[in-house]
Structure 1
């Protein structure tokens, strides 16, 4: 199987348009004459395009693409696979999927035919099984065995477990005597029995495949004649499968008949008596206890197998092993360990045993309430702490071996270990280090965690005391965060400033670095902490990153291009960042861009023809963008008069600011169309068409300053680009801007080399296949606004097209929306004139006839 997922193919091409072109070639049936080698890991084909190209692909042993090759020029010129290779790969994927579908369909038909044959088979006879469990630790370590008896009515012993499972797997007959043979083709086992047999069969297969190595540890094999040896884990699985079922049990050669597994607590009686200065601890059960598993999960007692609940087992097992297994029913706890036994062991097991305390022992137990005291101090480098557990007149330092419990030797202190452990666990989570009977911290992150998290939790369990130096540790309130944004008209830039009350501006830069590094706090120069888990701070840091201004901050001030104003305003509104104040110029810019129709721009009286309402809006939109130095894309549907709106705009700019040439770059077919439009709608604009041979074009360009509009084509601009470098135009406007959708094309590079005070684009299709086309146009309008090519791919193109990231798509839309004006015919239908049909009769030429 070849690995040919869409995301893999897309990663192998330079741009997504290459993938889509390749897909069109494949769907169009252009992949022909596909050949392969005997090992089917190399394929070669002819792909029919403008010429016939030979494309090939090699796959490695894992089914992944190893190498590709094509004879087309694009393969040599550009990075990645060409469209011809993509078409071949899609052809191979389709072939592979069709082949798989045919194989599955063929199997379905075979299964259907087989099902008819199965109905003619004779009815199988069910077999009964008897399970006999034996436990005898003297025979083998662990001591658990299983044997089986099977039959239709009368049951027969399985004398060789190995032969039985061989027959079970091979469907061969196995004779049990004159009157019964096991025939897999004639017999079947009930579902509940089949689960158990399948489990035992796995043991048999492992035993056989490992060449009897499982038996090498013991004197007998896992499968020995009729008996199957069950390891500890196998026994547990067997018992689990036998839940709610009875089976025969033999313990140390004594038969107990059918037994069921019961889940319940063991009844254990535990007694503690004083003997001299020691304690004697005994344990008895209601009957004999035999542990069938080493961990005590399954116990045999009083003729039953008990599955001991984990809550009781975990608490009682260590004590059970010491007293009943090793101590033969009784152990001695010496004087040195009495307190620990009473505090740790007794308090843990008292709820899972029947406890009988000797009166002398009960009277000797000292059980005052626990009081916890924690002391914190500070020096220049670290935080020190002391912890005391206080029981009446007894004071215990858990981190000092020197501190002794001062008490009557006849008394046994019953410590509240649960409470003590909670305190110690909190300190452990705080990453404290132990030294000289105390604890300390010397790391800023841990000190911040101590003040903000550990101490509040400790206060639930005890009293906390602080030295004056420790109290000097301050936690600043990050809620006192203010900011502002303004248009700096002197520098023609957008300017942010941020402040936090009581913090020097030069520290604001480092503070935002800490947020970007996902830190929980920032340690100020005065030693205090500023928590950074603040939604407003995080949103501002996110905004700075989204705008690509991470490295532009100096003393809490960030300067950036005015182009980001609209995105910034939208972000502040969406995140409700009302604490960031906007100056008058900022608010006016936003209002004008959002509502250009409210601005009193006068349409030139010299314009011939009437602008409809939507065209007046487009005229004012262009005027507003130009006023603030922004570029834009007028993306109205074809036929809605984009040229008329631009001419009205250029005529207005000439009247207000005087005569400065504007460069219009158009497809070759539209050069003379622009001349006609100017003559028809704006005859006051002087237009110069750059055409002819090289010498003629050079001569025409000598008179650029005498014209309002210089019109040239994309192909001629490519050839003459060096001739335009000395000119500074008022506006550079490109028509049918999709001609520069490929950022690496000569068209795009040529128009982007033109120097002008501002740039606009006209197109009815601002994006056809990929967002990279939009990036290229915006790179012409406002270079850097949508980041560099590489950053744009990483931030938007890959997440949107490869991962389907709708949040990134929405974010991109917020960036570009203010600078694209698009109306379709349906939206302005009422403003359009009635359809005019004109019939022109022409006579065919001699060649046409």
Structure 2
């Protein structure tokens, strides 16, 4: 039996051995003045083994209190809380006093950053749920010193392996915040400093089973950004109906181009103060697609679809009405950022093309030559009528020559020699990887051997 307690910023353990209804202190093994022998029923060797294990966590002895303790060593106390209790449970029953239970290891720093704009300044209000502001600087110092934990004044231990602390430190350094302002929690900064706040956003991916997604949505107020797909939004739309957001941003907005689809209706159900739509193709086939996107952004801006079709879409499409076209351009132009292909091409580097010729080794060349002779023999035996009749067969033979050039193994399963083209390709791949580059590799044949001989990793 392990009896754990905590008092005066110290942790202690009383160790008893239980035999049936009888319970004895294992401390007898430490008493050098013990004259009388131990009771026969006691398993002295086993008790000594467990005592040795316990003393690794509680090395100090208090004879008067008949207990072991950590000697106010915070590293030992942290070890007891982090993994010591689990270790003791492997050898017996563990009972803890309420004082011991009140000591916790906090594994995550919960930070909230309130952001507002006023008079051209960015107002930040940093709050932490579990860490008093006056201790936040000391916590960051301990984290930067690569310590495993920080002992809060409350007695709790904060595990210093949370990326939030790194981001807080980076925020403080990048924005040149004074310790006084940082501890105070309220700061006034230029608006361009908002770029540093992206990393502090808490992002939640709405994925998993229906029940898992529902549970995540129930906790949506604990996160800054929710990410989902059109398909999952359609399935979960009922769970969104009672929720409100500041922003709703849809990517690939052409997915809602048909205003009658479930996806289009779903995104318009979400309650938000601001809406953004991102797409490279706002119009693919018809003007109604543009109307659907604007109906999401600003319902009614392009009127109802019935009016839009009568006054704008039909006159433009059927009659080429320039007045209707100019009217639509004036209404939508301010909301569309358009880059022409000619503009984009100016920013792109020149295309560099290198053609590398590879000479086949003897085994591969021998197979290629044999295939050429085989084709020549076949063609020599055919007249014009047979030639036109067997065009498909001839094309297949030419294809076989191309395959042999890439790798004879594409045609002959028992081919075990090297392929000059494949080996050259692997060398180029390895050279690029060594230089820290990524590659997009195209092959004439999907059955080409996979480029894994050089230890390359790649998606299929």
TM-score range, shorter chain: 0.3 to 0.5
Q: Which has the larger radius of gyration?
A: 1
Which structure carries more relative contact order (alpha carbon 8 Å, separation 6+)? 2
Name the structure with the higher strand share.
Answer: 1
TM-score relative to the length of structure 2: 0.39
- TM-score between the two structures when normalised by the length of structure 1: 0.23
